[in-house]
Amino acid sequence: MSTQPVVAAVDGSEDSLRALEWALDAARRREAPLRIVHVHQYGLWTQPEVAAAGPPDPDEDPVLDQVRGHLAKQTELPAVEFVVLEGAPGALLPEMGATAGLLVLGSRGRGGFASLLLGSNSLAAARDAECPVVVVPRPAEDAGEHLPSRAGRPVVVGMNADSPDEATLAFAFAEAALRGVRLRIVAAYPWPLQTWMLPGEIPPPDIDQGAVEHETRILAEGSLAPLRERHAGVTAGIEVLPGDAAGHLVEASKDAELVVVGRHRRRLLAPARMMGSVTQAVLLHAESPVAVVPPAPPEE
């Protein structure tokens, strides 16, 4: 079991307290320490002498005092560390992923516009952190302040059968094993297929949807075989579905404990980190917590 800490980002908002609860549960399951981080944001107008003074003492931070009061009501706490940083959260929080096993944030904090579904700090962390990032959403308007319990519901993972991401699938299998729940694997294939022809070209023969679905399933099952063997205790079922992968995953999130998606690998012509449209759509609209898993580093 990894001893890298689970990092929870807090800012005093209800969103961050929900994320703290999720992170605390994750730390217990992993038998890992919990690192609680509060970033004091400063702007370009900050006086140099203020920045040079360094971050406040964690023992004198009101947000962390609130967290301590929250944790005082808990039992069986893991080892807990408090960290205060000074700077831009969108830059500093992803950096915490370099020494973490998991980074957990609320979907929005105190900053930003109330109409946004996903805050910029959560977006930056999910895109840039070196470790998996879990974004805990706000509950539905009719659910009150707290997320309804999702214990016992399946872990859902999205899979691209043509180019499966092993890091994403391995994380999903491990998370299902930790939680003692089944794993629901969603492999979507494009349908209907779009065909573009120039004037005068002969249209291609009709493609049988059943054949496309069968081929997608064969590819997916072949990639999943080693993971099924390594996690023999996990019941994993695959659903091969036509159409929009993001839509299927968002729909599945309504009855999921966690949805797991991957992050795009860097490309030669696009060296910046990217999440991909499916991952971003799931982050924006899922009703369950979402884990964004970075790709495994390329082998030397």
Q: What is the pLDDT of residue 135?
A: 96
Q: What is the CATH number of domain 155-293?
A: 3.40.50.12370
Diameter of the chain measured on Cα atoms: 75
Task: Give whole-number Cα distances, 95 to 84, 109, 118, in Å.
Answer: 14, 18, 20
Q: What is the CATH number of domain 6-142?
A: 3.40.50.620
Q: What is the pLDDT of residue 59?
A: 80
Mean pLDDT of all residues in 23-50: 80
Cα–Cα distance measured from residue 17 to residue 50, given in angstroms and rounded to the nearest whole number:
28
Mean pLDDT of all residues in 245-273: 81
Cα–Cα distance measured from residue 279 to residue 273, given in angstroms and rounded to the nearest whole number:
13
Q: What is the pLDDT of residue 57?
A: 75
pLDDT band at 45 (very low <50, low <70, confident <90, very high): very low
Higher pLDDT, 35 or 201: 35
* pLDDT mean across residues, the chain: 85
Q: Are strands 155-159 and 133-136 parallel, antiparallel or unpaired?
A: unpaired
Q: Do domains 6-142 and 155-293 have the same CATH topology?
A: yes
Q: Report domain extents, the chain.
A: 6-142, 155-293
pLDDT of 213 higher than 70: yes
> Going edge to edge, which strands form the sheet with 34-41?
80-87, 34-41, 6-9, 102-106, 133-136, 290-293, 258-262, 155-159, 183-189, 236-242
Query: Hey, what amino acid is at 203?
Result: P
Cα–Cα distance measured from residue 293 to residue 117, given in angstroms and rounded to the nearest whole number:
20
Segment 107-147, tens digit of pLDDT: 875 554 444 456 788 899 999 999 999 999 988 665 555 66
